[in-house]
Structures are given as structure tokens and as C-alpha cells.
A and B are shown apart, each in its own frame.
Chain A
């Protein structure tokens, strides 16, 4: 009975969406904002990856809000899970030698790859969020492979706070000495397609990478503690 009602409901929604989308041509984006970003983005922000120049250049304030939402989720997760009464830890079996060796071999390589992704965020596909997720996946491997090792809560909190602080402080400096608006690009943009270009964009993306990496590792840590 419930399935039939669900299917009828979905059919009504699908009809509505079909009627509204059938008149929009596919494959032709006529967005003026998008065209402006693609044409002027390199000159105005110095980043060759236009998505990065939108995320950290034109809409950097929005990204600050996004980072805050992720931070709130990590805090909320801690608050929801911290008040649990029974912390009965199941006995963890030791991992085999092959597992531990492979995990110890792969862990630094994954961290290196994550750092590469967020340092080159303004040149290649990738950026702080993606690089942070790669770093956190390295920690997840360490939790699953080398069982028993845990990340230090203090260290993760320090990296997280430093990342957020760098973001806000650079924005404030831009407010003080740059073009007088929050997060304005006050550093020289230098030559296109080199590592040290695009002004504050790589610095902010590295800060976001550290923040996201430590936050996601903290989430993984809390989830593993419960299971």
C-alpha cells in the first residue's frame, strides 16, 4: 500500500519536473556570470583553475561560511556522541604483519598526495576540500590497518584552529591594506600557471586543506571510537 502511494507521489513530482525542464535546451549554458568568470577570472584573480577562482576568489566569503558549517557538524557530532554512557570497548585483535607494513608504507604517500592536491588547487583540478578529504582517507587507512593507533585530539584541534585562524586573519589583512573589502587579494598575482601565483588563493586553500583534513580525521576518530 505504501509503495503504491509512494509511486503515485513520485509520478506526480516527475510530471511537474518534466513540464518545467522540457522547455530548457540542454548543452547550452547562457549564464552571463559564468561567462564573465571564465573570461576575466585569470586576469582578476591569477588562478588558472576557474572553479578555484570562484570558490576562493569571487565567493571566498561563502567558502568561509561553508567551512563554518563543517566545523559545526564536527562539534555537533562530538556533542551527540560524547554524552554516551557506556564506553565498552570491544577487544581489538592485532592486525597481521602484512597489513601493518602495507599501511605504514601507504600512509605517508597518501598524505603527500593530499598535500599535492591542496597546494596545487589554483593550477590543477582539486583544492582544499578535496585534498583534505584525501588526507582524512589516509587517517582512515591508518585506523583500519594499524589498529590501536589513534590521532592526538590536541594536535587535530591545533591544526583545525590554525587553519580557520589563517583564513580569517588573511581576510582581515585584505580588509586593512588591500582594496578595502573582506578577503581582497592583496598579494602580487605574479605569472600565470606557476606555483607561486594568484596571491592569497593558494595560502587560503592550504589553510582550508589543513582544516578540512583535521576535521574529517576528528570525525573518523569519533566514529571509530563508538564502533
Chain B
């Protein structure tokens, strides 16, 4: 039980990653695959944030006097996740645009019916 309490953030983050992977592996509809990709990305971002966490830490912002430097969480993973979120948004927009093209061309989003994309 203590293990669960200590690692609950990792468990939650990787739970999201595995849900996303499972959706991507088993679903046939392209929109559902994209939703799985998005969930997976959220899980990875949560994991990166929780790597830099310090127990009972504060946000790394000196908004008022008297904040202890030692209690602040690591700012580097947060900055990297900021990058990752923006890149993820860009990828999501591009993937949705490509799926619009696929739908206009094949008339379906079912991956089993789309030729040249057997899975």
C-alpha cells in the first residue's frame, strides 16, 4: 500500500499511456486512433512533470517573499513539457487535416477498408 501511495503519479501517468496504446493497437476507426494518440501524449506529459516533483513542493515562481528555494519543484521538466504540449498540438492538427483528406478520398475512416494501409 505504501508503494501505491509513493508512486501514485507514475501509476496514473503510465495508466494513461497504456490506455492510449491499447486504443491505438485495437481500434479500427482513425478518429479513435487519434484520440488514443492524444491520451498517450497526455500520459507522457504527466510522467515528465511528476519526475521533477518534490514532496510538498511549491511552483518555481517567486511571487511573494519568504519562499524557500529548496522546496521548489524542478523547473526544467515543466519547460520541456511546455514544448511538448505545443508540438503535440501541432501534430494533432496535422493528423486531423490528413484524416480529412483520407475521408474525402476514400469515403470512410475505417482502417480495414482503406487500401494500402492494411493493419
Contact = CB atoms under 8 A, between A and B. Distances in A.
Given A51-B75, A66-B87, A27 B52 contact: no
Interface in A199-221: 212, 216, 219
Interface stretch (A29-37, A139-147, A164-172, A179-187): A29-37
A124 B75 CA distance: 14
Given A29-B52, A193-B62, A54 B22 contact: no
B53 A129 contact: no
A62 B76 contact: no
A69 B18 contact: no
Contacts of A5: 25
A112 interface: no
Contact of A38 (B25, B72, B79, B93): B72
A72 B52 CA distance: 30
A169 B74 CA distance: 31
B79 A55 contact: yes
Contacts of B83: 55, 62-63, 66
Give the interface size class of chain B: 35 or more
Contacts of A86: 104
Interface string B62-78: 11000001001111101
A54 B62 contact: no
A7 B96 CA distance: 27
B35 interface: no
Contacts of A55: 79, 82-83
A80 B76 contact: no
B31 interface: no
A54 B7 CA distance: 27
Interface of B: 6-7, 9-10, 14, 18, 21-22, 25-26, 50-55, 59-63, 69, 72-76, 78-79, 82-83, 85-87, 89-91, 93-94, 96-98, 100-101, 104
The 3 closest A-B pairs by CB, nearest first: A73-B90, A34-B74, A27-B55
27 contacts: A2-B26, A10-B22, A13-B18, A17-B14, A28-B55, A29-B53, A34-B52, A34-B75, A38-B72, A48-B61, A50-B60, A50-B62, A51-B60, A54-B76, A54-B78, A70-B87, A73-B90, A73-B94, A74-B90, A74-B93, A80-B98, A80-B100, A84-B100, A123-B63, A129-B82, A212-B86, A223-B96
